[in-house]
Amino acid sequence: MDKDGALKDSELEALFSTSPGNPWRNTEFPQTTITSEAGAVSLQGWLAQWSMTTLLEHKTTLKYLAYLGFEGDTRIALKLTRARRLERKKGKVQRNVFLCYVFGAAGSGKVLIDLISELLDEAQKSGIY
């Protein structure tokens, strides 16, 4: 690793060498996340990719935590929370909310934000999130 703040293909390969391989190899990754101009995955992109993976396939995240060196029971690494409306009734809301405006040229991926929002809404309705 060259410590430049971004993971190139060779660095990703080395990182996943203790696992069955890159968990996103059958996807458009890294084009589907935030990368540097050279196409290397930035820290922000890395965290975003894992956030989406955890939302959609939490078991994959738990497996890879073990592959990548998490010591102990990986199940303690993730915390399920109750629906916020239940917390609000009890007066114990423990969440931060951010308002985000998305700007970008046509075709730059802003619609993806709507898709993610819809997925989060569905996950919350079904009690997953």
What burial class does residue 121 get, using C-beta atoms within 10 Å of its C-beta: 0-12 exposed, 13-18 middle, 19+ buried? exposed
Q: Which residue would you say has higher pLDDT here, 103 or 12?
A: 12
Alpha-carbon distance of 114 to 120, in angstroms, equals: 10
Does the pTM surpass 0.85? The reply is no
Task: Report DSSP state, residue 40.
Answer: P
The set of residues, in sequence order, having a beta carbon less than 8 Å from that of 118 and lying 6+ positions away, is none
Residue 33 pLDDT greater than 80, yes or no:
yes
Give pLDDT tens digits for 53-102.
988 899 999 999 999 888 888 888 887 766 666 666 666 666 555 555 56
Domain ranges in the chain are 6-126
Residue 1 pLDDT greater than 80, yes or no:
no
Q: What's the confidence (pLDDT) of residue 61?
A: 92
Question: In the CATH scheme, what is the homologous superfamily, with its name and number, of domain 6-126?
Answer: EF-hand (1.10.238.10)
